[in-house]
Amino acid sequence: METTQREREPEPKYWHLRTLLSKALDTEFSVGEILPNERELAARFGVARATLRQALEQLELEGRLQRRRGVGTTVAPPRVGVDLSPSQHSWPGWSGDPWTATAAAPAPPPPAVARLLDVRAGEPVEVIHRTLMTHGQPVATEQLYVPGSGEPRLPAAEGPERARWLLRRLQETDASGQDRTVELGAAGAEAARRLERLPGSPVLLVTTRYFAAGRTAAVSVATYRADTCRLTFADQPALTALTS
């Protein structure tokens, strides 16, 4: 008999389950529909609940399912696309900006941000908190760090009006470019609360540097729900035409 090397390495059960469920979702369920509960599903497939949960976690990670404690597991709608194309007109606070500012106050930024802003560690900067909603669901929270808060006309109250004042001032600066990084992260306690997720949920961490007059005018750290979001980046056809 020929020994077929690299024979059937047994597939983990949770992975096989994931595949089964994935197919079932494609054919037998529609968006928003509620699945049977975990104990029921585990029994039906003849596995422990923990194993079933491992499969569900996978599918949630892929944006196929949505689980809510006390409610149940539902079939998730397709991910929403969020445009992150760089553009002169998309600085925070531009007219048409879908973000809503919730608060602003001076505070020392985390070390990593301080480095990007080129300010001393511990040095306070203005921190603007914003949220992005789509379809009535929160999909992202952001902290915008803006140095140079020593303005006399700045509103004393630490609320939305202070945030709007700072954003208006940002709009007046002479934008010269931006810079983004995207990486996987885990939602901290604060972000988790604002995104209506549990601490540790996977999120996409988008760090943006805004440049003006050769300096870093602001740094944004945005936290997107990884389960419900798809980030999109497009070339501007108008610009590409110019380069020929």
Partner DNA sequence: GAGTGGTCTAGACCACCGG
Partner DNA sequence: CGGTGGTCTAGACCACTCA
Nearer to DNA, 76 or 128 (CB): 76
Q: Which of 20, 24, 31, 50 binds DNA (CB under 7 A)?
A: 50
- Number of chain residues interacting with DNA (CB under 7 A): 30
Structure tokens at 175: 């934008």
- Write the interaction track for DNA spanning residues 63-92; mark x where CB under 7 A is met and - where it is not: ----xxxxxxx-------------------
Query: Side chain identity at 135, as an amino acid letter?
Result: H
Query: Side chain identity at 128, as an amino acid letter?
Result: I
Decide: helix, strand or coil at residue 97. coil
Q: Which of residues 180-239 bind DNA (CB under 7 A)?
A: 198-200
Q: Which residue, chain included where needed, has tokens 């690299």? A: 6
Regarding 32 and contact with DNA (CB under 7 A), the answer is no
What are the C-alpha distances in Å from 229 to residues 18, 138, 209? 21, 11, 21
- Write the interaction track for a second copy spanning residues 78-117; mark x where CB under 8 A is met and - where it is not: -x-x--x-x-x-----------------------------
CA distance 88 to 86: 7
Over the range 109-125, which residues count as b (16 or more CB within 10 Å of their CB) and which as e? beeebbebbebeeeeeb
Shortest separation between residue 152's beta carbon and a second copy, angstroms: 31
Contact segment (CB under 7 A) with DNA among 22-30, 38-46, 106-114, 233-241 equals: 38-46
Regarding 14 and contact with DNA (CB under 7 A), the answer is yes
The binder of 182, among a second copy, DNA, none, by C-beta within 5 to 8 A per type, is: a second copy
Q: Which of residues 198-227 bind a second copy (CB under 8 A)?
A: 199-200, 202, 204, 226-227
Q: Which residue, chain included where needed, has tokens 């029921």? A: 40
Which candidate, 140, 113, 133, places its Cα nearest to that of 220?
113
Q: Which residue, chain included where needed, has tokens 């595949």? A: 19
Sequential DSSP letters for 141-195: EEEEEE-----TTS-SS-SHHHHHHHHHHHHHS-EEEEEEEEEEEE--HHHHHHT
Regarding 10 and contact with DNA (CB under 7 A), the answer is yes
Regarding 67 and contact with a second copy (CB under 8 A), the answer is no
| Residues contributing to the site for DNA (CB under 7 A) | 9-10, 12-15, 35, 37-40, 46-51, 53-54, 56, 67-73, 198-200
| Residues contributing to the site for a second copy (CB under 8 A) | 11-12, 14-15, 18, 58, 61-63, 79, 81, 84, 86, 88, 176-186, 189, 199-200, 202, 204, 226-227, 229-235, 237, 239-240, 242-243
